[in-house]
Amino acid sequence: MLKNLKEHLQSLEESHTGLEVRMSRERLDEILSADFFEIGSSGYMYDKKECLETGVVLAEMKIHNYEIYPLSNDLTLSTYFLVDTTRNRNTLRSSIWKFIDGRWQLYFHQGTITPLQLNDFIKTL
């Protein structure tokens, strides 16, 4: 069960960071919960309305070392290392996913720029 949840949430996370969803207001609206908020790698906070109206960064990104930490039956924390090849930077990411109306929705997201490279990060695990 936990393995299936991890695979499902990772798939949602990959779609959330992928260009196809980021370019589609409708798809992004579907993934983000009504109460979604984010602390961006810029240090600024955004809510769902801002993400949908002003858009999100369009960049080629790849997720590594995706892990989940269930907090309750309908709430899960996920963490991962993200390589952004468009902006040539790496970030440590965390998300909180909530099971709402029969599906998992992104409730919170945070990105923190890190000087670590993927090989450095893997060595620290």
State pLDDT tens for residues 11-57: 999 887 766 666 667 888 899 999 999 998 888 899 988 878 776 66
DSSP class of 116: -
Main-chain phi, psi angles of 11, to 5 degrees: -60, -45
Q: Where are the domains of the chain?
A: 2-124
CATH number of 2-124: 3.10.450.50
Main-chain phi, psi angles of 85, to 5 degrees: -80, -25
Task: Determine contact, residues 22/32, Cβ cutoff 8 Å.
Answer: no
Residue 11's identity, in one-letter code, is S
pLDDT, residue 27, reads: 84
Q: Which helix (H) or strand (E) holds 56?
A: none
Count CB neighbours of 17 within 10 A: 23
At residue 58 the predicted structure's pLDDT band, cuts being 50, 70 and 90, is low
